[in-house]
């Protein structure tokens, strides 16, 4: 299960979630967590109206621009007690 695509966590909701996650589970080396890499501002809609129409009618487009964090990855982070980027 992916946080952004399946649950709808992106933007400020995602930032709040990760802050709480790191605190509650006492995750170390959170400086390795790159919020610009993993947190998108929202669904993949460009700020230009022409691009919005393209995105609406393009069924093959990627839904999100950034790699989505999975629940499985978060479980591994909890087990290790450290943040790492899944590849």
59 or 21, which is more confident? 21
State the average pLDDT for the chain.
Answer: 76
SS (H, E, C) 13-43: HHHHHHHHHHHHCCCECHHHCCHHHHCCCCC
pLDDT of residue 57: 59
Please, which pLDDT band fits residue 12 given cuts at 50, 70 and 90? confident
Has this prediction a pTM greater than 0.75?
no
pLDDT tens-digit readout, 36-59: 777 766 554 444 555 555 555 555
33 or 22, which is more confident? 22
48 or 85, which is more confident? 85
Structure-token pair, residue 30: 């959170």
In contact, 81 and 22? CB cutoff 8 Å: no
């Amino acid at each position: 299960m992916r946080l952004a695509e399946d649950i709808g966590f992106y933007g400020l909701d995602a930032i709040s979630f990760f802050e709480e996650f790191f605190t509650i589970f006492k995750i170390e080396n959170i400086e390795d967590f790159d919020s610009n890499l993993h947190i998108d501002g929202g669904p993949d809609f460009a700020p230009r109206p022409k691009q919005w129409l393209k995105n609406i009618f393009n069924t093959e487009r990627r839904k999100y621009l950034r790699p989505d964090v999975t629940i499985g990855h978060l479980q591994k982070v909890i087990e290790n007690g450290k943040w790492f980027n899944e590849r």
